[in-house]
Amino acid sequence: MMKYTKIPNTDIKVSKICLGSMTWGNQNTEAEGHSQMDYAIDQGVNFIDTAELYPVPATAEMSGRTSKIIGTWLKKTGNRDKVVLASKIAGGGDYTAHIRTTGFSSNAIKEAIDLELERLQTDYIDLFQLHWPERDTNRFGVRNYKLDTKWEDNFKEVLHSLETEIKAGRIRNIGISNENSWGTMRYLEESKQHNLPRVATIQNAYSMLTRTFETDLAEVALRENVGLLAYSPMAFGVLSGKYIKGNASDEARLKLFPRFARYSSEQSTEAAKRYLKIAEDNNMTLAQMSLAFVNQQPFVTSTIIGATKLEQLKENIGSIGVTLSDEVLTQINEVHNVIPNPAT
C-alpha cells in the first residue's frame, strides 16, 4: 500500500514514490509513458516529476517532449486533480543553450512556465524547481571546488520573479535542485528577510552509492524543513544488479549512453556487488533494498523512480512495502564505511 507525506510547509499530500519521466520521448514512446502513468496512479502514486529539459540526454530536437507526453495523458484521462505536478526551469550553460541563455532572469522564468503550461496542458504547476544553480559550482558529482568570480548574487531577484508567478496562480510552490548547503541557506535567508516564497524541496541525487547529502544537507533539510526529492536512487540502474550480472539489455541506459559514467567506476561496481550480496542474503532484490534504503531516510519527502519497462516500474513501486531491518542497515553502512560515496 502506498505511503504519503506532505510537501514541507504545505497541505499538498504526495506519495513517497514520485514517478520520474526523463526517458519519455526518447527511450520510451508516448504510449509507454501513458502506460506507466496509468499503472502508477492505480498503485497510489500521485506525484509526477518532469522538466523542460527532458528527455535526457538533452537535445534541441527533443526538448520538452516529455512534458508533452504528460500533457496528452492529462487531457486523455482528466486526471489533473489526482496528480501533483513538478517541473523545472533548466539551469544555464552550454548544455542548455538550445533552450535559452538568459539564466533565471524574470523573463526566462516566465517563458519557462509559459511553455511548460502549454506542454502539460494545464494552468498551474504544483512545484516549480530550479534545475541547477545559475552560478558555476560543484554539481553532478563534480569535486575540487573553484569559486565562480563572474556570477553576481541574484537570489532575491529570482525569488521575486517566482513570487510573481505564485501570485498569478501559475505555480503553487518552489524548489531547488542539484544545490548545495550554501545555496539552500541563501534562498532560505532571503525568503525570511524579505518575506518571499520559501523553498519547499530540494531535488538532489541520493542513493547507496551517493550519500553526500548526509554530510551537511541532511541537517539543513531536517532543521529547516526542506524535503529531499531523491533522484537516481537506483544509480542509473547500477543498483538493480543487471550490469553486475551481465543481463542488462542493449536498451539499458548505460549501454545507450555510456558517457553517463558517474555510477560506473571501479569503486561503484565493487560497492554494488557488496550491496547485491546483502540483498540476496536477506531475500530481497537489490532494487528493492536500494529503494527501501532511500524511502526510509527521515529527510526524504519522496523518492523519484524511473523505468523504461513496466516490469521495472512494478518492482520499483513495490519497494514501498519493504522495510529494512536494523541488521540490514548496519550491513549497508559497513560497506559504505569501506567504500564511501564512490559515485560522488
Task: Examine residue 341 and state whether it is found in any structural domain, yes or no.
Answer: no
pLDDT of 255 higher than 60: no
pLDDT of 241 higher than 90: no
Using alpha carbons, select from 202, 221, 215 the residue that is nearest to residue 341: 215
pLDDT band for position 251 (cuts 50, 70, 90): low
pLDDT of 138 higher than 70: yes
pLDDT, position 250: 59
pLDDT, position 48: 98
pLDDT band for position 189 (cuts 50, 70, 90): very high
pLDDT, position 292: 98
pLDDT, position 259: 62
Task: Examine residue 209 and state whether it is found in any structural domain, yes or no.
Answer: yes
Specify the CATH number for the domain of residue 132: 3.20.20.100
Task: Examine residue 173 and state whether it is found in any structural domain, yes or no.
Answer: yes
Q: Which three cell numbers, joined as nine digits, stand for 201?
A: 524541496
CA dist 7 and 171 (Å) reads 14
Which range has the worst mean pLDDT, 124-138, 156-170, 206-220, 247-261? 247-261
Task: Examine residue 166 and state whether it is found in any structural domain, yes or no.
Answer: yes
pLDDT, position 143: 74
Task: Examine residue 273 and state whether it is found in any structural domain, yes or no.
Answer: no
pLDDT, position 128: 98
CA dist 239 and 86 (Å) reads 25
Task: Examine residue 335 and state whether it is found in any structural domain, yes or no.
Answer: no
3-state secondary structure of 16: coil
Catalytic residues: 54
Phi, psi of 102 (to 5 degrees): -105, 15
Phi, psi of 194 (to 5 degrees): -120, 15
Task: Examine residue 82 and state whether it is found in any structural domain, yes or no.
Answer: yes
Q: Judge contact between 197 and 174, C-beta under 8 A.
A: yes
Q: What is the pTM of this model?
A: 0.95
Number of domains in the chain: 1
Radius of gyration of the chain (CA): 19
Task: Examine residue 278 and state whether it is found in any structural domain, yes or no.
Answer: no
Q: Which three cell numbers, joined as nine digits, stand for 54?
A: 527532458
pLDDT of 139 higher than 90: no
The total number of residues written for the chain in this structure: 344
Question: Which residue range forms the structural domain that includes residue 181?
Answer: 4-237+295-322
Identify the residue with better confidence: 142 or 53: 53
pLDDT of 244 higher than 90: no
Instruction: Work out the mean pLDDT of the chain and round it to a whole number.
Output: 94
